[in-house]
Structure 1
Amino acid sequence: MRTVTFADADLCAWMNRTFVLAWYDIKPEATAAGLGALQPTYSREEIAAYPEGGGGTNVRAVFCSPEGIVRHATQGWWPAGRFREECERGLACAGAKSLDAAKDLRARGADELIKAANELAAANPEEMRRPVRESAVARRVAALRLRATTYAQMEGAIGQEAVIVLGDWEEEAEGRIMK
């Protein structure tokens, strides 16, 4: 489903206008299907039923200062609109006057996500008693909390040179079995 995010023409056009993009595949030999196979397609119903995102490590994004120092990082698949929110935060962090200012922006971002999740949950107690798979509200709350969690998971990358971070992630991926 993450390919749906990057198939969003508006998101990609905005990213191309806004950022210097560098795609780095830490497992270039890995394929989602057989060589030459097309990415599976999903119906509108499948896409609509998919949870609001996931925090897996198969998609990571870093946002750097002009010197190549990581100022913001996130991981996981998010729908295009939510991924753009992270890109906008990344843009603000990359342009911050200092690393400490970028860290403050990240901390405020995590706090905002938790606050939004808590407010949504408090406003919808009946929905929160339902299983996540059966409640759009519970899925949204879970996604907001998961996004906030990824800020902490990515904290070790902040302030590091991007090339070092990418190398570390490549090394981390060596032990994974991907087909």
Structure 2
Amino acid sequence: MLLAVAAKTAENPSWWDEWGKFLPGWLAFLWVVGTAVRKVWLRQQKLALGAADDELRDALIAARSSFEDIIAKGRRAPWFEADERRETARRIRDLAERRKDEALRAELSKVAAAWDEAFAHAPGAARPRIRVMGQPSSPQERAESARVQAQFGKEAEAARPGLEHVKSALARLNELERKTHGRS
């Protein structure tokens, strides 16, 4: 009986008996499909991250330190017009347009808007004053000083959300980099 089953199996083998022949082919097929899926996914992540991610990181770090300066001590309009800070909002907006990730783009646009708002509240350049020792300040000088301090307060209020948006944008940028490059 056993010989009859062995003879019948030899004449008409089932696929169970032949699976070893096809396993390498199926494994190669799964590897190719998996590689193609990973390549498409990685391309989508790179598009979301955008080009020049280091340039964006540098712009965000510069904006963060500027917002911290504004919050710590108010800044006047000439400080915003210095060469290293003049194009901050425009640079961030330009870098945001190169990104595909909507969450990152939204945070970057909020950072640029906060920068513009802080600049709008900045008082003008200080006028030179000549004072004589012991002479009390005039009511106009005290009113001007109070107005400038109020503008510094508004400027700091506009900078605080900007600082939070910078932190959120950096966190999102880090997350996208970890997905794409594996950076920690």
TM-score (norm 2): 0.28
Larger Rg: 2
Question: Larger helix proportion, structure 1 or 2?
Answer: 2
TM-score (norm 1): 0.29
Higher relative contact order (CA 8 A, sep 6+): 2
Question: Larger strand proportion, structure 1 or 2?
Answer: 1
